[in-house]
A and B are shown apart, each in its own frame.
Chain A
Amino acid sequence: MTGRKLIMTFPVTATSHLLADYRARGGYATLEKALREMLPEQITKEVVASGILGHGGAAFPAGRKWGVIKLNDGQPHFLCANADEGEPGTFKDRWILENAPHLLLESMLITAYALQVRNAFVYIRGEFDLPYRRLAAAVEEAYAAGWFGQGILGTDFSCDIVVYRGAGSYVCGEASALITSIEGKKGYPRNRPPRLTVRGLYQRPTVINNVETLSNVATIVAQGGEAFRKIGTAKSPGTQLVSISGHVERPGVYELEYGSPLAKFIYEDCGGVLGGGKLKCIVPGGISTKVLTAAEIETVTYDHASLTAAGSGVGSGGMVVIAEGTCMVRLLQILLRFYHHESCGQCTPCREGMGWMHRIIDRIVAGEGRPEDIDQLLRISKANDGTTICGMGDAAGYATIGIIAKYRDEFEYFIEHKRSRLGGRIEVAAGVPA
């Protein structure tokens, strides 16, 4: 059982993403209620009361972020939906963009009204073609229906929206890099303070929320923050869209109420390990979260407190199932190649460190590893932590430390014998089906 649902509440059909279907499901009624019956402050109050945490990876309380915005401060405010879904293993926001684009748009309009935002953006990764087309078509439908533009519903609330396409840069999913990218520049993260809610896009107060976080706003406002809070656990209200992939029988996107038993979700709802194999470990929330072994997840429930207590996190909801027999050295090689590829090069520890780590792991896999290489990887991971503007270098370190802490013997074997103890296996079955 995955628990109650807030987002995946309707059957996906050939037309379920269109405005007519969304209206038939009661869509845009909450926007009307908000504009006609609620003050902006009341909406923020409901979001604060809901206790909703950010669903992009950092789990920052959305209400607290919104609370920094000062109404009537005489300057424009901006809202950006972060649809730069790029954390490997994560493909949950894509579900919303493809199947419920109007849920996002209605929620963004309510948010824009609450925060006095005249111009909103959705920053979507450049590779997402179908999600972009679905969302862009939804935007046009919404403009034609009068939900965007001047004087919405005859009120004095006006809002325009731009779907802004990235062009291939993992780091642009980081909020400050994201706004730098919307400013038409290379995606370099910025130092804080000032916070982006104080000085963000074009130096104006800007709220950036993950697509899934924002998509919950319509529900929160419709049902009330207190009602929302009753779903999930006390510290993790609501649900999480979990995208699950890797060596799993039934990969896909699932909506999981916080507090659901994790092992049961993997073994029962998702059908367990591909081909009936045994579970070795999982990446719980995007590759930047630490792996948890099969034994470690037995008692874990899917929520922030439980996953943090187990030494990992909810992260971006991108779960990767790893079967027994998988070579963790080769697995780490794939991750470090990725981080090296995506380091933007702005900060020295990450720019150099990612290259060092990538070269060391390549050396080990080539059978030329040195006994000191394992500690060298750990040393670089620790040295990077907290020394860069954004968290990308830290994340590479967490992933590395997590894997080596639990599977150090595989690394030692590889270096000593110049080959993988597990045949360098990364797939469960032998190759792609012919």
Chain B
Amino acid sequence: MKHLIAEFDAMRKRYPAGAESSLVLPCLRRIQEDRGFVADSDIAELAAYIPVARIQIEEVLSHYTQFRRAPIGRWHLQACRNLSCSMRGAEGVIEHLERKLGVAPGQTTADGHFTLGTVECLGSCGTAPVVMVNEAYHENMTLAKLDALIEELKK
């Protein structure tokens, strides 16, 4: 985490005085972007840097679904399965991904290339079904588009 401290210092400038605790979420996000997950050493170092109690960071990590404590595959495919996506074929999308990748949601392929997941409502219901690949939304998915996407990501 230590190489990110200059960035964190810059980020502080637009926060009000006394709002140090607010830095927990943005710092964790940046750490995760950098490392791929949040390690034990990151928690200790962040707690000392802000400073906040370690338990606050642990609670945040367990409350928010986007934070990870362990590495995942290079490409994180998260298929939305909420109402509007289900009504436009999300169940078929998830089945197809399971078959194609040979893993169930929550699992990573043996080559470490893909992690499959499901997610509840990405706020993109008008372009359902939606699959989020790392940060990017892939909208109006069809099985053909899924196949093309996976081939592209394998490269």
Contacts and interface: CB of A to CB of B under 8 A. Distances in A.
Interface of A: 76, 78, 85-91, 94, 118-119, 125-130, 160-162, 164-170, 181-187, 202, 243-247, 251-253, 283, 287, 318, 320, 322, 326, 331, 334-335, 337-338, 341-342, 344, 426-429, 431-434
B97 to A, nearest CB: 11
Interface in B99-155: 119-129, 132, 135-137, 141-144
A184 B21 contact: yes
A334 B83 contact: yes
Interface in B57-97: 59-60, 62-67, 81-84, 86-89, 91-93, 96
Contact of B28 (A88, A167, A182): A167
A38 B144 CA distance: 57
B93 to A, nearest CB: 6
A119 B16 contact: yes
Q: Lowest 6 CB-CB distances: which A-B pairs, in order?
A: A184-B24, A432-B89, A168-B65, A186-B63, A167-B64, A245-B125
Contacts of B87: 245-247, 320, 322, 326, 426-428
Interface in B1-40: 14-16, 18-19, 21-26, 28-29
10 contacts: A91-B124, A127-B132, A169-B64, A184-B21, A184-B22, A184-B24, A247-B87, A320-B84, A334-B82, A432-B93
Contacts, number: 177
Interface string B38-56: 0000000000001010001
Contacts of B18: 202
A117 B141 CA distance: 43
Interface size class of B (residues with CB under 8 A): 35 or more
Nearest to B82: A88
Most B CB within 10 A of own CB, among A94, A186, A187: A186
A170 B141 CA distance: 24
A335 B83 contact: yes
A126 B66 contact: yes
Given A169-B65, A433-B143, A88 B84 contact: yes
B86 A182 contact: no
Nearest to B89: A432
B15 A89 contact: no
Contacts of A322: 87
B69 to A, nearest CB: 13
B126 A183 contact: no
A86 B63 contact: no
Contacts of A165: 25-26, 29
Given A246-B88, A427-B91, 9 more contacts: A90-B125, A162-B22, A185-B60, A186-B63, A287-B83, A335-B83, A337-B120, A428-B87, A432-B143
